[in-house]
Amino acid sequence: MPELAVIIVVALVVLGPKRLPEVARSLGKGLAEFRRLTGDVNKELDAARHMIESEAREHENERRRADREARSTPPEIEPTDDTKAPAPDTEPTVVHADQSRQVESPASAKTGSTSGNPPSTPAAKETEG
């Protein structure tokens, strides 16, 4: 409180008794305007914060609802080419790694020979021979 008294005395000496009330009045009006403006800014910030929070809650609720729906309904599994069984009337053909262009016919796959060509590996020569 003594600091305020010192400020008033200095202001009285510097400004004089006639001008001090005018300066004090304008200073009071300026402070009131400053408080009003800062209050408006605070209201705007609060409104923006509430809006953002409500949007975030909405998005979170939508995400949770979608998660619940995804868990409650089993996914529809469509067969891919890997999971489809071959047609029953066809027999699979075998391709050897060293004979990538020569394909065994179903009949030769049973006997072990390849399209009439001689075997290329020693183990195959022994079984052929």
DSSP H helices, the chain, are: 2-15, 20-72, 106-111, 122-128
Helix (H) or strand (E) holding 95: none
Mean pLDDT of 99-122: 53
Mean pLDDT of 50-61: 96
Instruction: Express as a percent the part of the chain with pLDDT over 90.
Output: 34
